[in-house]
Amino acid sequence: MGGMPRLIKPMLASLAPGLPRDEGRYGWEFKWDGVRAIAYVSSGRLRLLSRNGNDMTPSYPELDVLAGQLRVPVILDGEIIAIRGGRPDFGLLQSRMHVRRPPGALISAAPVHLYLFDILYADGEMLLGLPYTDRRQRLEALGLDTGPVRTTPWYRGGAADVLAASWANGLEGVVGKPLTSAYHPGQRGGWLKVKNIRHAEVIIGGWKPGQGRRADTIGSLLLGVPDDGQLRYAGHVGTGFTQAMLIDLARQLRVLRRATSPFASPMPAGHARGAQWAQPRLVGEVAFTEWTADLLLRHPSWRGLRTDKDPGDLSPDG
């Protein structure tokens, strides 16, 4: 027993190339395409913290209903998502992520949900050491399945069927959690993620000025990934942007301009020619088909900034 912790970092999952042979010892959940959130509820108030500890509560006022649905102090783990056409839409969520106090029109146009999948603390009791199955039972007993707050399903084994269902419903993939596993804050303690579509988290190291219709803005972003403590060049992306994204990126990159390349690895001459360099502080996400033999992203498409993550949060396995 004890007071509620002020901060519990979310447990992380490691990217796996496919389903494990011993998939029956895992609980399987759908992987939701949104922003990770730890929800702290106490004395009728909600506090939502991102993966890097930033307070997101004012950005998602419709989730305040969670505080009124609980009678005891709790800490819950979940994902904030926006849904369009019956499935999560990360692009729609982007319109909310940068707005500290969204107007009613934006809330109506891009409503969000909080999908919960773990409970870490309840009524003075730390639950981190309990097995996954016990924590899921405690979470489900709260009965959080109304309005924008939902408890996600999970499945004991049957990973191939769950993965197939995620593909059929346009979801990102699945997460496998050992049935007996404890919760290890901020660590990759045995959870696996298997993706249907390849995504990579990247660091913006510069940009190429646009031409034609983009003559006054960004043509492409120059991207890097962490590699042995340095920033390795990973390619450039020039598709997937909305006009609003380009305007926001240009505004933020102007402040981060620097004279020299932040990349430790050499770049193709055509990519470096005419480049504008930036301090490597902005994290984004791309979808892509594969890594080339030169360790460059093939056919990347921009998905958006990850304001919930810092460059130090990134790992080589995505």
CA–CA dist 304, 105 (Å, integer) = 22
Q: Which of 58, 50, 296, 13 is nearest to 172 (CA)?
A: 13
Question: Cα-flanking dihedrals φ and ψ of residue 271, to 5°?
Answer: -75, -35
CA–CA dist 94, 98 (Å, integer) = 7
Yes or no: say if 84 and 96 are a contact pair by the CB < 8 Å rule. Answer: no
Q: Which of 171, 156, 183 is nearest to 12 (CA)?
A: 183
Give this prediction's pTM. Answer: 0.73
pLDDT of residue 86: 82
CA–CA dist 221, 201 (Å, integer) = 13
pLDDT of residue 170: 82
Answer yes or no: is pLDDT of 1 > 80: no
Q: Each residue of 256-267: pLDDT tens digit?
A: 999 999 999 888
How confident is the model over 277-292, as a mean pLDDT?
A: 90
pLDDT of residue 182: 97
Answer yes or no: is pLDDT of 315 > 70: no
Domains of the chain: which residue ranges? Answer: 14-195, 199-313
Q: Each residue of 72-117: pLDDT tens digit?
A: 999 999 999 998 888 888 888 988 988 889 999 999 999 999 999 9
Tokens representing residue 181 in the block = 């596993």
Answer yes or no: is pLDDT of 150 > 80: yes
pLDDT confidence bin for 48, thresholds 50/70/90 = very high
Higher per-residue pLDDT: 6 or 204:
204
Tell me the CA distances in angstroms from 155 to 26, 99, 165, 238, one per residue in order.
8, 35, 12, 39
Active site residue: 31, 193, 195, 309, which one? 31
Answer yes or no: is pLDDT of 181 > 60: yes
Answer yes or no: is pLDDT of 316 > 70: no
pLDDT of residue 23: 94
Active site residue 31: yes
How confident is the model over 185-201, as a mean pLDDT?
A: 88
CATH number of this structure's domain 199-313 = 2.40.50.140
Question: Which of 3.40.50.300, 3.30.470.30, 3.60.20.10, 2.60.40.1150 would CATH assign to domain 14-195?
Answer: 3.30.470.30
Answer yes or no: is pLDDT of 153 > 70: yes
Mean pLDDT, the chain, rounded, equals 91
pLDDT of residue 2: 58
